[in-house]
Amino acid sequence: MSWYRNTVWFVKGLREYTRGGYESASKHFNPADVEVDVAGRSFLVTGANSGIGKATAKEIARRGGTVHLVCRNKERAEVAREEIVTETGNQNIFLHIVDISNPKEIWKFAEKFRNEHKLNVLINNAGCMVNNRELTEDGLEKNFATNTLGTYIMTTALVPLLEKAADARVITVSSGGMLVQKLNISDLQSGNGPFDGTMVYAQNKRQQVVLTEQWAKAHRNIHFSVMHPGWADTPAVRSSMPDFYERMKNSLRTEAQGADTVLWLAVSAAATKLPSGLFFQDRQPVPTHLPLAYTHSPPEDEEKLMEVLEEFSQKFKSVSPG
C-alpha cells in the first residue's frame, strides 16, 4: 500500500509539481494580482535565510513591505538579509534568530515580538526533513518539533497580534506529500515501528493542513491558507532528498516559482476572496485528498490533535523565560 501511494504521488507530481506544471499553470495567472504596493504592512517569514522562504521575503521586500526574517542560523541569516536589502533597496528588513524546533525559544520570541511590533501576515515556512529519528534537547522528535509543534506555537502565540491587524493572514507552506498520509494522532513523535523520514515529513504536512482548517474555524478575522509549492530546487531538497534531487534536478521548479503561490496568498486581494482554510497549489484551491484515498479523518481526531498540541504548547510556555 505504501508503494502504491508513493507511486501515485510521484506520477501526479511528474505532471503537476515540476517546472513544466508551473509553466502550464502560470499561463492562467493574473499578473496584476501580485503587482501591489504593500508598504506599511508587516510580514513575518520563518525559515527565511534560503529557499522558498528567502524568495518569498525578497518579493515582499520588492513591494515595499516590512519583512521580519525568522531564522535559526545567524551567519546565513545575515547574508540573506544583506542580499535582500541590496537587491530590493528596502531597508525595512529585520532579523530574528529563533530555532523553530525549540518551543521555549518560540514563546520567548513571540512574547517579545507582540510587545514591539505590528503584524499583518505570518508565513510559516520553516521546516525540516530529518531522515533518522533525532530528539531535540526537550526530548521531542525533531521533525514533529519543527514542522508541527513549532508551527502551532508560532501561530497561536501571534494570533492575538494578528487579530488587531487589518487584512490579517496566515500562510503555511505544506507539501503535496501529505496526500499520501492520513492523520495519525496515536504516534505524533514517530516512536513506533521503523522510522521513514519522508513519511514522517508527509505526516507533519498533513497535520499542518488540519491545523489550518481548524484555525480557520476558530479565528474568523484572520484568513488562513496552506499550500504546496511544487517540487522546487532548494537547499533543503538537495540535502534531505539527494536521490530524488539527482533524479529530478532538471525538472525542478526554481525557488521563485515555488514561492509564487506563497506570495500570491500573502499580498493579493484575490486570495482573500476565497474561503479561509483552503489548500492551494499554483494559486488555485485544490483537494486535500486524492480520489478514493483512505486519508480522511474523523472530526474527533482533528480536534484531538489540537488538544494535544495545546497541551504541549502550554507546558513549554510555563517554563519559558521572561
Give per-residue pLDDT as tens, 218-249.
999 999 999 999 875 566 666 666 676 567 66
Of these residues, 152, 201, 245, 294, which one is catalytic?
Answer: 201
Alpha carbons 151 and 218: distance in angstroms, whole number: 16
Mark residue 274 as left, alpha or beta (left: phi above 0; alpha: psi -120 to 50; beta: remaining).
Answer: beta
* pLDDT more than 90, % of the chain: 79
Amino acid at 82: E
Give per-residue pLDDT as tens, 66-123.
999 999 999 999 999 999 999 999 999 999 999 999 999 999 999 999 999 999 999 9
For the structural domain made of 3-315, what CATH number should be given?
3.40.50.720
Amino acid at 310: E
Question: Scanning the structure block, which residue is given the C-alpha cell 492575538?
Answer: 160
Specify the pLDDT at position 237: 65
Residue 103 near residue 74, CB atoms below 8 Å: no
Count the Cβ atoms, other than its own, within 10 Å of residue 95: 17
Task: Based on the residue annotation, tell me whether 4 is a catalytic residue of this protein.
Answer: no
Specify the pLDDT at position 3: 47
pLDDT mean across residues, the chain: 91
Question: Scanning the structure block, which residue is given the C-alpha cell 517569514?
Answer: 45
User: Is the pLDDT assigned to residue 320 strictly greater than 60?
Assistant: no
Joined together, the cell numbers standing for residue 111 give 512574547
Residue 4 pLDDT level (bands cut at 50, 70, 90): low
The distance of Cα 82 from the centroid of its chain, to the nearest Å, equals 23
Specify the pLDDT at position 127: 93
User: Is the pLDDT assigned to residue 8 strictly greater than 80?
Assistant: no
In SS3 terms, the chain reads as CHHHHHHHHHHHHHHHCCHHHHHHHHCCCCHHHHCCCCCCCEEEEECCCCHHHHHHHHHHHHCCCEEEEEECCHHHHHHHHHHHHHHHCCCCEEEEECCCCCHHHHHHHHHHHHHHCCCCEEEECCCCCCCCCCECCCCCEHHHHHHHHHHHHHHHHHHHHHCCCCCEEEEEECCHHHHHCCCCCCCCCCCCCCCCHHHHHHHHHHHHHHHHHHHHHHCCCEEEEEEECCCECCHHHHHHCHHHHHHHCCCCECHHHHHHHHHHHHHCCCHHHCCCCEEEECCEECCCCCCCCCCCCCHHHHHHHHHHHHHHHHHHHHCCCC
Alpha carbons 247 and 193: distance in angstroms, whole number: 28
Residue 159 near residue 128, CB atoms below 8 Å: no
